[in-house]
Structure 1
């Protein structure tokens, strides 16, 4: 993947390059769609309703662990009480968010140049036991996705197709698009390459994993500010 990433240039980027490389298309280790269908079935068993998009939001917010999802569904059923339908606002109100979702918000804060919020989220995740390198790797993934979204948009690929490629729900796609629209494709590529270079420095023993996430947040913040 790293070799392919180094070859990606804004002038040679193509939708086919992403689609023809499995490592670039799949961002998850097991089918998110199966988890979403399971959520819908479990909710329907209680005589409540949940749309596919809202179930997708719950899966993205909470993760794919069945036990955790079941607990969150039970919480939502109790929360909506006499209401027949679970909505996105209910998920936002009471669901316990996964690490992935927190990293998504951390990346949004960074892209919004709210570095204090990005650092705060990172510190909270580390305090709660998230491994330093794994947190950095998730940040790298978020900037890979952000770059791909921007590149696909530059080819006039519609959001439905983009969603299928990067496998994140519509609300997340739309939120990220609104944030990255102010940035050039080149600056997002530079931010992504910054993460790749940092990853190389760590894996080659040139830097420690201690502080790697905060170091990356500060470095990317400097890059993004140059595009203002």
Structure 2
């Protein structure tokens, strides 16, 4: 395990429940994870309050003031790089990132998505799973590539869909699993166990399956 801590920068746009899970997980004495900063494109994102309560530096970069995505992403990269991250974590960051941004952080950029990828890329995943009559749903952590919600999978958690599930009840159970698997993936990375290889994600030097490490609670 690396002797130094792993500096993590978290990007978010909303309530920051996954950020809270990462903060809670990083508080243990043996944790190699150091959340260096939290950045939001929304000044009213509650995740910023969670960060401040934990003594973590915060910054707001609102996209409305920029002439296009490339200009915003360039400013965002400069802000992130000023925090010297080893890993950048997307935790409900509601912006589609440019190819330049993704390439700049290749191999050190993780995202969490509320479906069992490659199913249901994009939005409204819980509604789509219910409408399709799926018996299983879940969430996925993956390395970010230029394909939207399409990078190599690291870990997935499976949630059984109950006959009486609503979008909200299903979302609640999926969120609970998100809060388990995101800190796990970040810890693996911080420990030097997880990396992006030429042909996909590697854990302890071994290629992960196409579905990543599968967890069935």
Q: Flag whether TM exceeds 0.5 (same fold).
A: no
Using structure 1 for the length normalisation, give the TM-score.
Answer: 0.28
Using structure 2 for the length normalisation, give the TM-score.
Answer: 0.29
Which structure has the larger Rg over C-alpha atoms? Answer: 1
